[in-house]
């Protein structure tokens, strides 16, 4: 005699599995979306060294701001409206190299929206830093699976959001550039 499986047993097993998996996914998503890290106040000033670098002034006319950048670097404005500070002489559209600094001005996104976007990263932290005359929100994003860790400095001013992505090998240059920003 051949054994026959009751169809209701199969339906019940599938239903129970679906509820368990769905509950796990729901729990995981609520844990990731509700994590709020404390904001730590830090005041940072660039350190001075014995060898003083030469800086040049970049006048970003389309955004109404200027900033200084060091000798040996180039400031390249691309068709996406963003500016890159890099040792390269050209960056092709679509190339978002981690070795260059990205300076982006976004008039369609608020600071809160950008922080929510970045907080989706599993390893995310934020602090407030006063650099020059501005108080920036510094976001640290830690890469998974061997990628690069990097920082972004965010500043909301006059309905625009300045998003400054620090390049991988930038060092102290970021603080020098951020301190020199004028609108």
Instruction: Say yes or no: 103 and 50 in one domain.
Output: yes
Per DSSP, helices labelled H in 34-169 are: 111-118
Instruction: Say yes or no: 109 and 79 in one domain.
Output: yes
Task: Tell me the whole-structure pTM to 2 decimals.
Answer: 0.64
Instruction: Say yes or no: 23 and 60 in one domain.
Output: no
Question: For the segment 133-163, what is each residue's pLDDT rounded down to a tens digit?
Answer: 899 999 888 766 666 677 889 999 888 899 9
Instruction: Say yes or no: 50 and 117 in one domain.
Output: yes
Question: For the segment 116-140, what is each residue's pLDDT rounded down to a tens digit?
Answer: 888 887 677 889 999 988 999 998 8
We report the CATH number of the domain holding residue 76 as 3.40.1000.10
Assigned token pair, 103: 């300076």
Residues 6+ away with beta carbon under 8 Å from 37: 124, 125, 126
Query: What whole-number distance in Å separates Cα of residue 84 and Cα of residue 73?
Result: 10
Sign of the four-CA dihedral 105, 86, 44, 32? positive
Number of domains, the chain: 2
Instruction: Say yes or no: 89 and 168 in one domain.
Output: yes
Residues 6+ away with beta carbon under 8 Å from 97: 86, 88, 91
Short-list 79, 173, 155, CA closest to 114:
155
User: Within the chain, how many helices (H) and strands (E) appear?
Assistant: 3, 10
């Amino acid at each position: 005699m051949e054994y026959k499986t009751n169809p209701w047993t199969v339906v019940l097993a599938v239903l129970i599995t679906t509820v368990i998996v769905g509950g796990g996914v729901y729990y995981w998503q609520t844990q990731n979306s509700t994590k709020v890290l404390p904001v730590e106040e830090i005041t940072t000033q660039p350190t001075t060294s014995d060898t003083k670098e030469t800086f040049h002034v970049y006048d970003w006319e389309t955004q109404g701001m200027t900033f200084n950048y060091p000798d040996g670097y180039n400031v390249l404005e691309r068709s996406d409206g963003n500016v890159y500070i890099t040792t390269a002489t050209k960056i092709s559209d679509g190339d978002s190299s981690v070795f260059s600094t990205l300076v982006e001005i976004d008039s369609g996104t608020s600071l809160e929206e950008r922080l929510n976007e970045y907080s989706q990263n599993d390893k995310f932290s934020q602090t407030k830093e006063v650099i020059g005359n501005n108080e920036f929100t510094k976001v640290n994003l830690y890469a998974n699976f061997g990628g690069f860790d990097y920082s972004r400095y965010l500043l909301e001013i006059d309905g625009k959001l300045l998003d400054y992505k620090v390049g991988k090998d930038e060092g102290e240059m970021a603080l020098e550039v951020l301190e020199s920003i004028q609108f």
